[in-house]
A = this chain, B = another copy of it.
């Protein structure tokens, strides 16, 4: 699969795919005799994994370290697991922050809706902020 095809398949620009490889977010992609990238199944799986993680805001640095350890073999399994656990914790914390924000948004939206009910204007519904 060429970079253009992989780009379309995962909806990630070719520039970004090269960038990811350059910084080690995905391992080196196999090349043909002319030096053209030929994305195989393994490369695709890495792309797909990283797309998922990045979409969720997992730090690139942690992912790069994970990939580097992965390439060093089984001896690094425990370290890799620790990275995943740390990132999971951060993810959970961030989701909690978002949940809190979501609840406030809901409250505020409710207040604006109350305000919009005729006869309810100034009386029961002081819209603040």
- CB within 8 Å of B: which residues of A? 45-46, 49, 52-53, 55-58, 70, 74, 77-78, 80-81, 84-85, 87-88, 91-92, 94-95, 97-102, 104-106, 108-109, 112-113, 115-116, 127-129
Contacts and interface: CB of A to CB of B under 8 A. Distances in A.
B49 A104 contact: yes
A65 to B, nearest CB: 14
Contacts of A45: 128-129
A53 B116 CA distance: 24
**Protomer copies:** 2
B88 A105 contact: yes
A122 to B, nearest CB: 9
B101 A91 contact: yes
